[in-house]
Structure 1
Amino acid sequence: MESTRSQHDGRRYAWRDLLQRWSDEWLDPVLHEQERAEPFPDEVREARWLGAAGATGEELGALERRLGTALPRSYREFLLTSNGWLNTTHGIDRILPVQEIGWARDLDPELITGWTGGPTDTAPRVSDARYFVYGEAQDSAALRPEYLPHTLTISHTADATDVYHLNPCVVTADREWEAWYLAHWLPGAVRYPSFWDLMKDAYESFRDEQ
């Protein structure tokens, strides 16, 4: 996992650098802004920043108490850098601020039912050999829908077809949660070992759209 550690605040992930590059490229009118359904607000263009001020420690503490769990480090550091975010790619409208984050079973029960088939679903479980594959060799259909009710919904798109989830049912050795990208054009989800890995890949996909 690529990471960096600030000498000043102890943060491991280079969110500010990544998000600033992302903002600058989204806001380049030659490359992208004219392709967006609506122009970015004036204050966003003037600030050259698609996010917000970072969440406070108190806000994150309140979120973790509401959820009943500690957040994985890469996602926590993202929220400390920017409490929410506008478009990552054309498929994701917003990454949610702390006030709107919640469990998928509460925010989108219809999505859960659509994937799990309800409480009587008896589909065979995907094997570890198929499931624990990341990168280009991954089969997006190798999803475990039984995890979905326990995932954290962290993004919003108006037509609800593309969404990011964090999955606490799969935790890496350094306590990162698996991250999912569910999309209308996928037979399942593209999964990553962490939110940081998901966002790096989303940035590369965004750049490929230019």
Structure 2
Amino acid sequence: MDWPELLEKISCIIHAQNGHVFYDKGLIKNDWLGNSPALENEILKKEAELKIRLPESYRSFLKSSNGFRQISLFVGDLFPVQNIGWITEKEPQLIEILEDIPGIDDDISDKEYFVYGDKQDSGRYRFEYLKESLVVSGWTNGAFVLLNPKVQFGDEWEAWVYANWYPGARRYKSFKKLVLDEYNSTVELLKNKD
């Protein structure tokens, strides 16, 4: 599924909900929860500022919608490219709080870390990676979205939903996989809500 189709489906399913909505419904036209696409020069400017090249699926997302209000029943407020930034600048208090937790930086083996999908343990992640991650959303319902440049799969970076209700981080091999999983989880929850 390409980005325009996926984002359109997310918009329709989320905007139809009466609960679990974390944006002002009065600002929405035509059930579209996104924004205008980011221009290539806007993306390049932010990449130059951050001294990185953003992962391909995230760049493609930005070219479809420069930010997005809500991608699932629980995760939202994806920033426009102009507002993304390193966690040490965007969420320094979170890092300070977590640094005081005993065992937060305990070593985790590659065998345990590189487990994705239902078998991963969201409470077991590498704090050193969290400290170097890129924040691409605001806090919504106790969760926010990060991109981890320390783990790459080709042109993709690992993507995280960091949430207090996991606890910890649910990790994906790409930003696109994260958004698809959030969408599919929302569809399943709504199908089984009765």
Is the shorter-chain TM-score for this pair beyond 0.5, marking a shared fold?
Answer: yes
Could you report, residue by residue, the CA deviation over 1:110-132 in whole angstroms, capped at 9, with x for unpaired residues? 111223339x9784310001000
Q: Partner of 1:69 in structure 2?
A: 52
Structure 2: which amino acid aligns with 1:65? A
Residue 136 in structure 1 maps to residue 118 in structure 2? yes
Deviates more, 1:133-142 or 1:65-74: 133-142
Residue 200 in structure 1 maps to residue 180 in structure 2? yes
Structure 1: which amino acid aligns with 2:156? E
Written as runs of structure 1 = structure 2, the 5 A alignment for 1:47-126 is: 47-117=30-100, 123-126=105-108
Residue 167 in structure 1 maps to residue 155 in structure 2? no
Q: Partner of 1:25 in structure 2?
A: 13
Q: CA deviation at 1:184?
A: 1.1
Structure 2: segments with no counterpart, 5+ residues = none
* Paired residue total: 190
Q: Percent of aligned positions with the same letter in both sequences? A: 36
Relative to structure 1, the CA distance from residue 187 to residue 41 in structure 2 (aligned partners, 3 Å threshold; closer, same or farther) is same
Could you report, residue by residue, the CA deviation over 1:73-113 in whole angstroms, capped at 9, with x for unpaired residues? 00000001000000122333410001110000100011112
Residue 36 in structure 1 maps to residue 24 in structure 2? no
Find the structure with the greater CA-based Rg.
1
Q: Partner of 1:191 in structure 2?
A: 171
Residues 98 and 104 in structure 2, CA contact (< 8 A), matched pair in contact too = no
C-alpha separation in 1, matches of 2:43 and 2:120 = 33
Report the TM-score when normalising by structure 1.
0.83
Q: 2:162 aligns with which of 168, 173, 182?
A: 182
Structure 1: segments with no counterpart, 5+ residues = 5-13
Normalized per residue, the structure richer in helix is: 2
Residues 70 and 76 in structure 2, CA contact (< 8 A), matched pair in contact too = yes
Q: CA deviation at 1:137?
A: 1.1
C-alpha separation in 2, matches of 1:125 and 1:38 = 39
Q: Partner of 2:139 in structure 1?
A: 157
Normalized per residue, the structure richer in strand is: 2
Q: CA deviation at 1:188?
A: 1.8
C-alpha separation in 2, matches of 1:155 and 1:37 = 13
C-alpha RMSD of matched pairs (Å):
2.1
C-alpha separation in 2, matches of 1:112 and 1:208 = 33
Q: Partner of 1:16 in structure 2?
A: 4
Residues 55 and 156 in structure 2, CA contact (< 8 A), matched pair in contact too = yes
Higher relative contact order, structure no. (Cα contacts within 8 Å, ≥ 6 residues apart): 2
Structure 2: which amino acid aligns with 1:164? V
Could you report, residue by residue, the CA deviation over 1:147-172 in whole angstroms, capped at 9, with x for unpaired residues? 1121000111256x211100000011
Structure 2: which amino acid aligns with 1:25? I
C-alpha separation in 1, matches of 2:78 and 2:22 = 17
Report the TM-score when normalising by structure 2.
0.89
Secondary structure at the aligned position of 2:25 is classed as coil
